[in-house]
């Protein structure tokens, strides 16, 4: 198992004392997070603790009120979202948010434009998600939830990110597709070195993918676990049960 990055090796992503919220309502209350290049790191926590808020702050959809976000050593907390995408951060939103009236291909073209300036890799993406090739002319809104989730991931992948932010990819998706997505995520990590931050409440998916796991509560990281520790029901109840 891969552990935290070695001393001296700067993390790909390093977050310190990050604070952010909505219209004066604080949500993130000083988040610290390190993700080494080549890692898959999970973030778990109950509903409403701030997981999606963290992901949105990392990609730049929400401005940071305080604190630091470093990507490849450079401070990006004041960099616009589209620039962060071009620096190599891919984003798969909770609920997928594919463009429902556009075809699969058109959705992917938006992802390519967002990753702009980096050479798109459709071939690699279609190899991961052959269903998207088969359905490339289909209108996205008519596909199943699992297919739309694969499209949302594919849309982020064509921009060739170094870091992928995945916000609850298993939500509302049948278990067999969850397993497929987990397997493909691990493949992209092992074969292409894709680093992943995985927000999840699905323990099976975390166990299949993650090497480390942060627990979030009330806008802070309150524990760091190995995924094996999630096999213990008391641990899961303590950190996830309402
Ligand atoms: N657009 C918004 N405007 C105001 N408050 C918001 C907004 N989005 C989220 N919040 C609030 O911020 C807090 C954190 O929400 P967030 O979506 O980050 O939680 P989460 O951990 O992702 O939850 P879930 O597991 O349900 O997705 C919650 O109290 C939520 O009500
Ligand atoms: Mg969320």
- Indicate whether residue 49 lines ligand 1 (CB < 6 A): yes
Q: Which helix (H) or strand (E) holds 40?
A: strand 40-44
Question: Does the beta carbon of 219 sit less than 6 angstroms from any atom of ligand 1?
Answer: no
Report domain extents, the chain: 13-97+162-240
Q: Is the pLDDT of residue 2 over 60?
A: no
> For residue 27, how far is its CA from the centre of ligand 1 (angstroms)?
8
For residue 170, the model assigns a pLDDT of 96
Sheet with 40-44, side-by-side order of all strands: 89-92, 163-167, 195-199, 40-44, 212-217, 220-225
Structure tokens at 133: 């090739």
Closest CA to 166 of 144, 177, 179, 181: 181
Is the CATH code 3.40.50.300 the one for domain 13-97+162-240?
yes
Average pLDDT of the chain is 93
- Confidence (pLDDT) at 1: 45
pLDDT at 160 over 50: yes
Instruction: Specify whether the CB–CB gap between 23 and 80 falls below 8 A.
Output: no
**Distance (Å, whole) CA 97 – CA 110:** 12
Q: Which ligand is located closest to the Cα atom of residue 202?
A: 1
Nearest CA residue ID for atom 3, ligand 1: 22
Q: How far is the CA of 109 from the centre of ligand 1 (A)?
A: 29
pLDDT in tens, 55-111: 999 999 999 999 999 999 999 999 999 999 999 999 999 998 999 999 999 999 999
Which candidate, 45, 32, 28, 30, places its Cα nearest to that of 238? 45
pTM: 0.94
Which ligand does the CA of 53 lie closest to?
Answer: 1
- CB of 93 within 6 A of ligand 1: the answer is no
Band of the pLDDT at 120, cuts 50, 70, 90?
Answer: confident
58 lines ligand 1 (CB under 6 A): no
Distance from the CA of 83 to the center of ligand 1, in angstroms?
24
90 in ligand 1 pocket by Cβ < 6 Å? no
CA angle 90, 55, 17 (to 5 degrees): 125
CA of 52 to the centre of ligand 2 (A): 4
The number of beta carbons lying within 10 Å of the beta carbon of residue 156 is 24
Token pair listed for 108? 């992917």
The strand pairing partners of 223, in sequence order, are: 215
Name beta bridge partners: 201: none
What per-residue confidence (pLDDT) applies to 185? 97
* Contact by Cβ (8 Å): 156, 113: no
User: How far is 71 from 99, CA to CA, in rounded Å?
Assistant: 28
Q: Is the CB of 22 under 6 A from ligand 1?
A: yes
């Amino acid at each position: 198992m891969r552990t935290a990055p070695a001393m001296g090796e700067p993390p790909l992503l390093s977050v310190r004392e990050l604070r952010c919220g909505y219209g004066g309502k604080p949500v993130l209350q000083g988040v610290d997070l390190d993700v080494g290049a080549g890692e898959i790191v999970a973030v778990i926590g109950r509903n409403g603790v701030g997981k999606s808020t963290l992901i949105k702050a990392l990609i730049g959809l929400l401005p940071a009120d305080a604190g630091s976000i470093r990507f490849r050593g450079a401070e990006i907390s004041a960099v616009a979202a589209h620039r962060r995408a071009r620096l190599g951060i891919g984003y798969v939103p909770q609920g997928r948010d594919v463009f429902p009236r556009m075809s699969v291909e058109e959705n992917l073209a938006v992802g390519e434009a967002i990753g702009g300036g980096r050479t798109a890799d459709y071939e690699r993406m279609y190899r991961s998600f052959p269903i998207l090739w088969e359905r490339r002319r289909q209108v996205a809104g008519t596909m199943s939830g699992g297919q739309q989730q694969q499209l949302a991931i594919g849309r982020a992948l064509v921009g060739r990110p170094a870091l992928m932010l995945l916000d609850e990819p298993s939500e509302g998706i049948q278990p067999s597709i969850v397993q497929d997505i987990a397997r493909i995520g691990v493949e992209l990590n092992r074969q292409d070195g894709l680093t992943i931050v995985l927000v999840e409440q699905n323990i099976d998916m975390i166990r299949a993918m993650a090497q480390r796991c942060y627990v979030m509560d009330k806008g802070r990281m309150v524990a760091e676990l190995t995924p094996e520790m999630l096999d213990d029901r008391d641990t899961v109840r303590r950190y996830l049960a309402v």
